[in-house]
Amino acid sequence: MKKEIIEVLKNREFDKLIKIGNIKKTLSILISFLYDNELSMFRAAEAIGYICKSIYRENPELVKETIRRMFWYMNEENGGYCMGAPIVIGEIARVMGEDFEDFINPTASLIENSELETRYVVYSIGRIGKRILEAGLNLKDKLLKLLEDSNPITRAYTIKTIHELEIEEALPKLKKMLYDEAIVRIYDDGYFKEVKISELAAQAVRSLESRKKSPDLLDEFNHSRSRKPLQFFNRMYK
């Protein structure tokens, strides 16, 4: 069974995981890859997220228990820190939607844990999406500070997360990073790739500035007092 899972991770054919065998055993094997090399760790985390998405409606408790296990694996009492645990939490959060609310604050607080690999925590936060900003601590300020981190990989993942969360307050710092020529290797969409910090910063700046200049059409429509709604749609589709 483990050989089959290795092949699934190699080809990212996560749909096959549901048919391989007992789901709990499959999850346990995947969790063992969270201690493996970095590529296996990321793909195993994605695979766990895929399984949780597939089973969530019929077995939400197993999904929540998997999240609790990840927090346990990051606990000093566990005796063996699992580097991939934060990534798994981010992947599962993507499929849980509003049901992830109970875990938002504990997840956001991981960014304050100096014992964890910050780059993986930041990556996880980006995967969760904008609702993570509802956490009790001021996550925006902490992410802004990490743009100045000494580790270029952490800076890279922070840029991508800020881009994903649409944190416009980061624009002044991002513009300064347009001159950061450090080249990093980061995980993106299933693969590792080399990219310049300046390129990531440029992408984020373009996106955030575009949002600042362009009004949100949905908000405009919802708050419009116009008695001629067709004018709104005619303008929208010009």
Question: Residues 145, 161: one domain?
Answer: yes
Could you give the CA distance from residue 166 to residue 207 in angstroms, rounded to a whole number? 8
Contact 79, 119 (CB under 8 A): no
Question: Residues 26, 75: one domain?
Answer: yes
Q: Residue 3's CB: how many other CB atoms inside 10 A?
A: 7
Question: Residues 120, 26: one domain?
Answer: yes
**Structural domain of residue 171, as residue ranges?**
140-210
Percent above pLDDT 70 for the chain? 87
Could you give the CA distance from residue 234 to residue 227 in angstroms, rounded to a whole number? 14
- What's the count of helices (H) and strands (E) in the chain, helices before strands? 14, 2
Query: Which of 137, 162, 191 marks a domain boundary?
Result: 137
Contact 145, 111 (CB under 8 A): no
Res 238: pLDDT = 40
- Entry pTM: 0.86
- Averaged pLDDT of the chain: 87
Rounded-to-10 torsion of CA 75, 79, 81, 86: -30
As a whole number, mean pLDDT of residues 1-25 equals: 89
Question: Residues 84, 197: one domain?
Answer: no
**Among all chains, which residue has been given the structure tokens 């607080």?**
109
Is 64 within the bounds of a domain? yes
Res 20: pLDDT = 84
Across the strands, what pairs with 79?
A: none
